[in-house]
Structures are given as structure tokens and as C-alpha cells.
Amino acid sequence: MTQSKIPVDLILSKLVEESEKVQSRAKKGSEVLLGELDTELAKTPYDVVYQEDRVKLKHYRPRTETRYHTPLLVVYALINRETMLDLQPGRSVVERFLDAGIDLYMIDWGYPTRKDRFFGLDDHINGYMDNVIDFIRGQHEIDKINLMGICMGGTFSVIYSALHPEKIKNLVTTVTPTNFDTKKGLLHVWMEHIDVDRVVDTFGNLPADVMNFGFLLLNPARLMIDKYVGFMENLDNQQFVENFVRMDKWIFDSPDLPGEVFREFVKYCYQGNMLLNNKLEIGGRQVDLKKLTMPLLNIYGKYDHLVPPEACETLINHVGSGDKKNICLDTGHIGIYVSSKYQEAFAPEIANWLKERDKIPKKKAPRKKSAAPRKATGVNADTSKKKPIANKSKPVAKPRPAKSKAPSEPTKP
């Protein structure tokens, strides 16, 4: 009888060793999960200094002396929440901007309800964004502010800057789609062929659960298998578990998407590629990229599966600015903001770029006060200094019959 070549004793020994490791991990993991976990997001202190409908303007309290003459407004996408920039202390783009001495504002788009379904790109860009920017200009008595847009919020910022170049000093775009004529990335293929009219007419606002399911299908092996395998393998690591829970809380904290915004964004951008071809009209005005004459910094990720480099990198070839720069980082869509490694390259790069262009802004001429100031809230809000916006020539949201008829709904938690 010949001896078996299979090392049975070694295999059994390894099985016992692995079994003991699993038991030890499970025991310690249960202690971690049953213990006290710190999974709170967005802990950097701020005040809500302006509010209009569901839209709020956050103004972050300084952590050091302000070293910039021009404040920075960050505009996030309508998908997911702006809390991604402030996941936790020590891992926060917000903290890095504040530590650099930037006076920082950020828009919180809130949670749309049924009455928001008819609000389109014009309402969000020429309405909410314009009112917020006018408020900041009024607070600081300056003509121009710095604007930074993220993903869909970056596209909004490009459109806004082309329509209102006199109000933007420097423009920063990050993982921002502007060229939609690409087959790179499954999202672009889906959006090119989706029957968006049928979707919006069926749902009204696009439900967050539908969007999240779609995003999971873009990379199911990694997002539905690998990440949870990794969680089980690190169950006994409290810091890993806390970071995992924070990220999942952010991922699934998704507002619904206003129906008309979704319809117009898909038709005008994904299916028409009208922005890059200067064929887009918002509020009856052509969005001419040649009017982007302010300095432009455009940052994107080499491995971004949602907004691939091909969707971002060509923007600088179409703008009118002579001061423009592309930066491609070796990471993905979210890694730019949450990875400790890339935060060190990302936020300081923007801070330094803005510092080099931070000339003393021109003071605005005093404006006549209105008797009907816009609603603003906040713990430390000083309403006596706010610029009245009630006498603006353009209202924030065009009156639509459904706005007054639709029943009010409680917002998502």
C-alpha cells in the first residue's frame, strides 16, 4: 500500500488553528458590537445661517484664524448627503479646510418631498444656489466668492458659473461629470438608454432605495460580497467596525431625487451631452462655457466607476479661462474625500491653489435694505446683517400649481 501524498495531518492542524482564530474573533467581535460604538457623522460644529424651503446653508465655526479674504462655498450632489466631507474627526475634508484658515460654507439640500418633484435645474441653480451665493456675498460685502462643486453639485457649479460669472472668483470642480459622451462606466450606459419620462411619471421623485439598488448593481461583487466579507474578517477591530458603520450610514442616508431635476439631468446631459456642446439652456439662457473665465481647478479619480476620467478631463478644453488645471488622483469616486492618504493630497491642494489666487476682494456698494428679509435660522445667525433677497428679480422657485396642491409629507429621517 502506497502512502498518501496529501498532508492530512498538516491540513487538520490548519483547520484546528483556523477554528480557534474564528472562535476568538467571534468572541471579541461580540464584545465590540455589544459595546459602545462611536459612529456619529458630521461632528464639526457649524451654524445654519440661511434656510429656504428644505435647503439649508451651513457655516462652519473656525478652528483657527481665517487666512483667506474670500469665503468658499461647497455644493454637494443631490444624491447622498454632504456629510461625506466630514465623516469623523481626523478624517474630514471640512476639518482640513478649516485648519487651513478657509471661511467655509456648505449647502445641505435636505430631503425632497412630493411638493419638490416639479423643481428642476433652473429652480436649483438660478433659485436656491443663486440665493445662497447672494446671501454669502451680502454677509461679507464682496462681489465674488469661491465655489467648489462635487459630482452632480460640480455640474451645477459649472452651469452656475457660466450663467453668473460676475459672482464667482475661483471655481473648483471635483469628480464632476461634464462630458457625457462616453461609454466608460455602466452608469453612463444605463442613463443613455433609460426611459426617464416613464420613471419620473411613475415615481414622481426618484426614490432613494431605487437609486441605492442601482448603485449596488454597478459593482455587486465588491459592494454586496467583498465588503461584508471584509467586515467579518475585522469584526474584532473596534476602529474598523466604527469606520464601516459610519460609511454605511452615509451610503444609505440617501434623499429622494426631485423628479424634474432627474428628468432634465438625464435628458440634457446623459442623453444630449448639451453642456459641453454649449447647447444647454437653463432659465431661458444659454450656458456658454466660454464665459467660465475665472481660474478653474478640476480634480477627478483615475479609478472612478461612476464618473470616469473621460467624463471630467475635457472640461478645461472648453472654458474661456486661461488659468485652468486638471489633477487626476489614483483613486475612485469616494476615495478622494474619505481616504486618509488622498485627503492629504486633495484638501491641501485645493487650499494652496485658492491661497495663490486669494487677492483682496472688492467691497460691494451698500444696498438698500428690504422690508421683507428672507427666512434664516441658526444658533448664532445674526439676521441684522443678512442681505434681503425678497427684492430679487427672479424668485427662487417658479410658482407651479402642484406646489400649492400637493399635500405636505414628513421628511425622511
CA nearest neighbour of 50 among 373, 395, 399, 366: 373
Which residue matches cell numbers 416613464? 198
Write the pLDDT tens digit of every residue in 225-240. 888 889 888 989 999 9
Task: Please indicate, yes or no, if residue 57 is contained in any of the structural domains.
Answer: yes
Task: Please indicate, yes or no, if residue 160 is contained in any of the structural domains.
Answer: yes
Task: Please indicate, yes or no, if residue 413 is contained in any of the structural domains.
Answer: no
Q: What is the CATH number of the domain that holds 311?
A: 3.40.50.1820
Written as nine digits, the cell of 87 is: 465623516
Written as nine digits, the cell of 71 is: 469665503
State the greatest distance between any 2 C-alpha atoms of the chain, in Å, as a whole number. 104
Q: What is the pLDDT along the chain (413 residues), one digit of tens a residue?
A: 566 677 778 888 888 888 888 888 888 888 888 888 999 999 999 999 999 999 999 999 999 999 999 999 999 999 989 999 999 888 899 999 999 999 999 999 999 999 999 999 999 999 999 999 999 999 999 999 999 999 999 999 999 999 999 999 999 999 999 999 988 878 888 898 899 999 999 999 999 999 988 888 888 887 788 888 898 889 899 999 999 999 999 998 989 999 999 999 999 999 999 999 999 999 999 999 999 999 999 999 999 989 999 999 999 999 999 999 999 999 888 888 888 777 778 899 999 999 999 976 666 655 554 444 444 443 333 333 333 333 343 444 433 333 333 333 333 32
pLDDT of amino acid 363 = 61
pLDDT of amino acid 187 = 87
- Verify whether residue 328 is a known catalytic residue: no
CA nearest neighbour of 51 among 392, 381, 399: 381
| Model-wide pTM > 0.85 | no
CA distance linking residue 360 with residue 343, whole number of Å: 28
CA nearest neighbour of 117 among 396, 410, 406, 413: 406
CA distance linking residue 123 with residue 397, whole number of Å: 5
Task: Please indicate, yes or no, if residue 403 is contained in any of the structural domains.
Answer: no
Task: Please indicate, yes or no, if residue 214 is contained in any of the structural domains.
Answer: yes
CA distance linking residue 248 with residue 270, whole number of Å: 28
How many domains is the chain built from?
Answer: 1
Task: Please indicate, yes or no, if residue 399 is contained in any of the structural domains.
Answer: no
| Domain with 182 in it | 46-356
Residue 238 has phi, psi (to 5 degrees) of -60, -45
CA distance linking residue 83 with residue 75, whole number of Å: 12
Task: Please indicate, yes or no, if residue 110 is contained in any of the structural domains.
Answer: yes
pLDDT of amino acid 218 = 82
From the list 151, 269, 312, 328, the catalytic residue is 151
Task: Please indicate, yes or no, if residue 389 is contained in any of the structural domains.
Answer: no
Write the pLDDT tens digit of every residue in 325-345. 999 999 888 888 888 777 778
